Structure 1
Amino acid sequence: MSTPTTALPTTSSHGPRRRLQALSAAAVVGLALTLCTTTAPAHAAELVPQTDAEAEQFLDDRAAKDPSTLDRESVPEGISVEQAKKAVAKTDELTPADVEYAAAQEELPASGVPGNFYQTPDALPSEDGAVVKQAESEFYLDPVKLIKHDAKSTVFMYKTTDEKGQARAATATLLTPNGASGHAEDAVVISPGTQGIADKCAPSRQMGMGTEYEGISVASALAAKHPVVVVDYMGLGTEGAHHYVNRVEEGRSVLDAARAVQQLDGSEIDADTQLQLRGYSQGGHATTAALELQKEWAPELNVVSTSAGAVPTDLYKTVSGLSSVYTAFALYGVVGFAEQADIDLSEFLNEKGQKVVAETADKCTAQALLSTAFTDGKSLTKNGESFPEVIDEHFTDIVDRQRLGKAEVPDIPLLVNHSRLDDVISFDQGKELASTWCRAGHKVAFEDNLGPTHLGRV
């Protein structure tokens, strides 16, 4: 493992600064006197959140940064400082720290996972959830790689099946808290929020680079001494397309990861371990999909509770309500819809639209949001159509297949949470999902809040 100093890139004079700016304010203070040393500070581990309150404070420190601190060296290439400041000022979805993380991400070293790990072998096992391979990995909370979590981290590949019935390889990460031994009574399975659709955006890759925004949630779960499984989803990291918010493929990715983790060398999770499924946004969609598919796909799994936040139960309604700040989310969806419908993008996108889609498809969430913020979808289509109109014309069937809240789910405690101020996924979608489950006789807790926009998670 390289030390922080030697890991810094040498190809750019401002690389170290970019990566330093991506630390939280608290971390910067803690590391200020040690930046010129050749070893990580002894107290770096103390910066890892140990409770939910500390995790929230970590996020608050990041969110509190002033947009005026952004400059050329802390903004990704190809995006102007003015554009970045405007995006941050107009939405709580992006903070200055998010912008700095996106800039730091451009110059990061390898994730620590072997370079050929994500290559799918010529033949896959016949059984869904079978382990294909595993490797040691790392989990950092910052892109300078100074705040390393002491949990044992293992990335693994497993076999699953896509919506068309084709065998696929997918990946996930098992994190085992320090000091745990023997059988795990409980484990948390996290379906991450929107990462992007490029392989480099897979959580298992980003956790090793310190750029995974779900890292704080993972650290919080580990603080409760639960093993944690973080799912990558089909096509993120591994070969083949990642079909953004595809109900079947997301749900199967979650369920088969929960099966596979029981077979890993060194895993403390077995068939008796009580599984808690958690997810927010795209992760809430994947978690809910897994619930709806469990009886048919993986009835043997011991799922005992679920938390699903800001669930996009109706993708047509979600896309119709998106402001131009979140054009990237619509573009991720359009790429996946066209792939599934076998429709060439040139049939409905103009030259500019095809160029923007190609660029966005190679960016992870924060950078994609920045680069497309305030882009009117109508300016990207051949006939000036809006994205909802494009869906009406080409993708109605595909979008309808992703609807949630209609299928049977296990009789377990269910938590749905949603911010009344969510400006990406309308509040009524979360409320209706909770009502649907309640009417079906389930034990449902619905928690609303006034968190800022789509970041209003609890």
Structure 2
Amino acid sequence: MISGPPRRTGSPWSILPRLTSSAPPAVVAIVGAVILTIGLLVVTRPLTSLWLLTVYIAVSAILTGVAELLTHRATPHWPRRIIATVWFALGAVILIGFGRTLDLLPSVLALLLFMGALVSLSDALTRGTLSERVLSAVWGAAQIVFGILALTWPDITAIVVAVVFGVRTIIFGVILVWRGLSGLVTPRAGGSGLGVSEIVSTPSRSARAWMATGRYALAGVLIVVASGGWWLNDWLADGTPVVDAFYNPPDVVPYEHGRLIRSDVFLGQHPPGANVTRILYTTRDALGQPAVASALVIVPEDPPPGHRPVIAWNHGTTGVARDCAPSLRDASATHWAIPAVNDAIERGWVVVATDYSGQGAPGVFPYLIGRGEARSSLDAVVAARELDGLRLSERTVAWGHSQGGHAALWMSQIAEDYTPELDIRGTALLAPVSDPRALADEMASGEGDAVLSILTAWVLVPYADTYPDVDLSRYVTPGAAPIVREMTQRCVDEPGLVVSVATAIGVSEDRPLFLGDLSEGPLGDHLADNAPSGPSKAPILVAWGDADEVIPPRLQHEFVSDLCAQGDRVRWVIYAGYDHRGTLVPASRFLGLLTNWSDTVLTGSGVPLDDCHR
């Protein structure tokens, strides 16, 4: 952390220099060694040492408050005395509520920065030379900027502040050790020993000029750093979609699931020859409780006569935060987001694409929690039937990619009981997650990296928020829970994801974010429960690439073998050189097969191939 102007800033970071300024050399050397050790610990093990940083902040705040109160007791300066009292109280609160303070560390830092800014701005108006006032004013403004950034990016703030604070502490420790040892080696005349504070003569005019130049230079550096941080914050924030009022449900909604709450025109891109409407509707969450979800309904502009068949599209991983909903994205109804959507419109089909509950609409996102995903998708199709002028057939085919493949599998599992008015004719899966626990085991067996840490957070937090017996503290390193939760607030396609990546990399240099085996205990049990058991009454189409970097092809082979062993009718295709998204993109060779197979099961004009008898 950048230290404030050296002259009467009242900063909690400058209290130790003030306390050691007149101490004996031996004491200064010992204090310097202790501080140097603290700095090395914080820099080399930032996550482990967050508790140390928290205690240091608390003690510094208390000592700063006491020093300020004693300094100004003769000539009351009420604004500074009020701030000093707040500093003392804040430090005491941090120590008393130490365990909880770790979660609140970024907020505490921001508050201290804001308070320091008030003192610096007060100094700029009341005391010092012109250069000192300029530096105080710039430092005060910079502290406000840094405080806002600490609140905006709390996870990386904890790590960055720990490291930068540690570097500053190392430098300060080295200086104290050097001064203390110098005082012991070079005693003052009279044998008393040279203290840290020396007799300061009035600086010459040239010295004062150089000091003023240094202050102006430091003020310039502060302006550049604060401006750069603010620009970066704006750039990262610009890529985050805004959840508008459409997604907020009214106070009273129908109790029945699959009921339309409201609809509106989708303002993003439309496929050729199609109209797109976004809908808000009732559903049930992963535990069967009433919930609300959103979806897009893509309808041909001039559909053929009669009730139109439905493709229920289940999207893959976009993140788990509310603003990760695909319907908030401009291109979410195009062939870049939904495979073969243009072909579906040309055939007169209606495509219903759910966001799942907890994305767009408020709630807990059911990431890889099968019943929650499937209920959102099934209810989207049912609710779309209430749109004016839209005639939908009960004939439905479920499509899904990755996480969406998991959702599509569960649709066929529960549709008969949950939405008997729908006839699920088939399930098409693109690189699906079929067994969350097996995937967790596979991921845990590989080398940990930042991406794996983020994906783990995206699974762990929704499971902990859904199942009462999944305790986050059992699986997360002490002090890292706020970092893990903050990772779940960013989406795959937003620039802010780089903050999560940077945080994960920074933490991994210390120790892993997660403890033990995530596939054991209550979490492992619930992951296993969310593997669909089958069998499926409708035929299944499965496609994946042999270069899939997310879901190992071996798991897909095992999945298909299990489907065949339980008597399912399975058509499966492997594409050489395709990665995890290879089957999804517009150039995919799979898309023709996808539409032809879907046409066969929707119309009943033939029997889909069954590769289980190859």
TM-score by length of 1: 0.66
Q: Report how far residue 442 of structure 1 moved.
A: 3.1
Q: What one-letter code is carried by the residue in structure 2 that aligns with 1:166?
A: Q
1:169 & 1:333 partners in 2: Cα distance?
21
- 2:477–2:514 Cα contact (<8 Å) kept: no
2:338 & 2:321 partners in 1: Cα distance?
19
Instruction: Report which stretch shifted further, 226-235 or 211-220.
Output: 211-220
1:436 & 1:248 partners in 2: Cα distance?
21
Q: Which residue pairs with 1:421 in the alignment?
A: 547
- 1:327–1:375 Cα contact (<8 Å) kept: no
1:281–1:178 distance in 2 versus 1, CA, 3 Å: same
Q: Which residue pairs with 2:429 in the alignment?
A: 308
Q: Which residue pairs with 2:402 in the alignment?
A: 281
1:395 aligns with 2:523: yes
1:182 & 1:326 partners in 2: Cα distance?
49
Equivalent residue runs for 1:29-428 within 5 Å: 106-107=237-238, 115-140=244-269, 150-207=273-330, 214-215=337-338, 217-271=340-394, 274-322=395-443, 324=449, 325-342=451-468, 345-350=472-477, 353-367=480-494, 370-373=498-501, 379=507, 384=512, 386=514, 389-404=517-532, 406-410=533-537, 412-428=538-554
2:510 & 2:387 partners in 1: Cα distance?
50
Q: Report how far residue 296 of structure 1 moved.
A: 2.0
Q: Which residue pairs with 2:586 in the alignment?
A: none
SS across alignment from 1:257: helix
1:186–1:448 distance in 2 versus 1, CA, 3 Å: same
Q: What one-letter code is carried by the residue in structure 2 that aligns with 1:399?
A: L
1:4-46 per-position Cα deviation (integer Å, ceiling 9, x unaligned):
xxxxxxxxxxxxxxxxxxxxxxxxxxxxxxxxxxxxxxxxxxx
Instruction: Report which stretch shifted further, 218-227 or 325-334.
Output: 218-227
- 2:315–2:400 Cα contact (<8 Å) kept: yes
- 1:315–1:403 Cα contact (<8 Å) kept: yes
Runs of 5+ consecutive residues of structure 1 not aligned to the other structure: 1-76, 80-102, 142-147
1:106–1:450 distance in 2 versus 1, CA, 3 Å: farther
How many equivalent pairs are there? 347
Q: Report how far residue 340 of structure 1 moved.
A: 2.0
2:423 & 2:334 partners in 1: Cα distance?
31
1:385–1:195 distance in 2 versus 1, CA, 3 Å: closer
- 1:158–1:260 Cα contact (<8 Å) kept: yes
Q: Report how far residue 408 of structure 1 moved.
A: 3.0
1:131-160 per-position Cα deviation (integer Å, ceiling 9, x unaligned):
12211213327xxxxxx7552111112211
Runs of 5+ consecutive residues of structure 2 not aligned to the other structure: 1-152, 157-233, 584-589, 591-614
1:402–1:374 distance in 2 versus 1, CA, 3 Å: farther
Higher helix share goes to which structure?
2
Which of residues 569, 572, 575 in structure 2 aligns to 1:449?
A: 575
- 2:334–2:341 Cα contact (<8 Å) kept: no
Q: Report how far residue 275 of structure 1 moved.
A: 1.4
1:199 & 1:116 partners in 2: Cα distance?
13
1:351–1:151 distance in 2 versus 1, CA, 3 Å: farther
1:431 aligns with 2:557: yes
- 2:258–2:282 Cα contact (<8 Å) kept: yes
1:154–1:347 distance in 2 versus 1, CA, 3 Å: same
Q: What one-letter code is carried by the residue in structure 2 that aligns with 1:236?
A: Q
- 1:188–1:227 Cα contact (<8 Å) kept: yes
Q: Which residue pairs with 1:30 in the alignment?
A: none
| Aligned alpha-carbon RMSD (Å) | 3.5
1:162 & 1:361 partners in 2: Cα distance?
19
Q: What one-letter code is carried by the residue in structure 2 that aligns with 1:137?
A: F
1:270–1:140 distance in 2 versus 1, CA, 3 Å: same
2:235 & 2:385 partners in 1: Cα distance?
35
Q: Report how far residue 265 of structure 1 moved.
A: 1.4
SS across alignment from 2:520: helix
- 2:335–2:342 Cα contact (<8 Å) kept: no
Q: Report how far residue 395 of structure 1 moved.
A: 1.1
1:387–1:178 distance in 2 versus 1, CA, 3 Å: farther
Instruction: Report which stretch shifted further, 315-324 or 296-305.
Output: 315-324
Q: Report how far residue 320 of structure 1 moved.
A: 3.0
TM-score by length of 2: 0.51
